[in-house]
Every structure is written in structure tokens, then in C-alpha cells.
Amino acid sequence: MRLSDRYVFAELILPFLIGTLAVLMMLVGNTLFAYLGRMLQEKWPIGIVLRALALNIPTVLVLTLPVATALAASLATSRMARDQEVTVLRGGGAPLIRRFAPLLLCGAISSFGAFYISDRVVPWAWREQQNTEALLYSLPKDPVQSNVAFKVERYAFISARRSGSAPGVCG
């Protein structure tokens, strides 16, 4: 691999990572927003919600990788053109298609990665996410109510408050 190829790859890495994280955060945030109303109303456990969000990442990553690759290629190319680096490389005798071969290779690697994730990881993650969502939606709406007995494993509990006291005030 030539030094100029490594330089172009180095120009691609940071925008690719930033683009991947930014789009990933937006799409996973969209899923969190869908959960948010019921999560707060029904007091879902944070750990289970985080698991559902983490299991959503492979599905969203398949959509994110092409966008991040396009963003990285665009930013790297425009920065190199703005700083006249493309002109210098062309002046050195390298054909333009040879200078942008690392961009094509990066796109091919990203496409292969997205295909692998969608073929091998997404089906498992989707099934696990569906199981986790089923668990979340089957949780009782308000697990602790006043003057109601409830069972946890082999034990029975009753939640009661003293008459005349405000809700949530002990003493």
C-alpha cells in the first residue's frame, strides 16, 4: 500500500467514525423516544430498556454504515480538494482514479460489513429484541399499589399507608 493511499484512508477514518456515531445516536434515539412514554408511565426497569436499545443497534447499523461512508468520502474529498492536495497528487503523475481507489475500497469494506451484519447478527438481535420488548410490555402497569397484596416468588406483601397521611410520607 502506498503512502498516499494510507493518507487518504487516514482522512476517511475520523469522518466515518463521527458519521457512524451521529447517525447511530439519531436512530437509536428514535427508538428510545418510542419507548419513553410507556417507560416513564409504567416505570420500566432501565436495565431492560437499555438491553432493548442495545439489541436495536445491529439493525440500525446496517442503515448507518452506507450513510457514514458517503459522509466520510464527501468530507475527505472536499477537504483534499480545498487544500489543493488532489492537484498536488495529480501533479505527481498519479491518475485521478488511482487517488480515489481508497475511497472505493472503503465503500466496498463498508458494504461487506453491512451485508455481514444484516445476514448474521440482525436476525439474532431482532429475535432477542422482540423477546425483551415482550417482557417490557408484559410488566404490570403499576407494580406497587396501596392496600393491595402482591406476591413475589414465595412471599406475599401488602402495601399500606396510614390513613390521614399524604401519599409517599412516612411517619
Percent of the chain whose predicted confidence (pLDDT) is above 90: 52
CA dihedral sign of residues 38, 43, 45, 46? positive
pLDDT digit string, tens, across residues 24-52: 999 999 999 999 988 888 888 999 999 99
Q: From 72, 40, 62, select the one nearest 123 (Cα to Cα).
A: 62
Mean pLDDT of the chain, nearest integer: 85
Burial of 52-79, coded b for 16+ CB within 10 Å and e otherwise, reads bbebbbbbbbbebbebbbebbbebbbee
Within 13 Å and on the Cβ side, how many CA atoms surround 152? 6
Q: From 98, 76, 79, select the one nearest 89 (Cα to Cα).
A: 98
Q: From 14, 33, 20, select the one nearest 60 (Cα to Cα).
A: 20
The 3-state DSSP composition of the chain as helix, strand, coil percent (nearest 5) reads 75, 5, 20
Domain regions of the chain by residue span? 3-141
Over 50: is that where the pLDDT of 115 sits? yes
Amino acid letter for position 147: N
* 88 vs 18: CA distance, rounded Å: 27
Over 80: is that where the pLDDT of 106 sits? yes
Over 60: is that where the pLDDT of 165 sits? no
Residue scoring higher pLDDT (154 or 121): 121
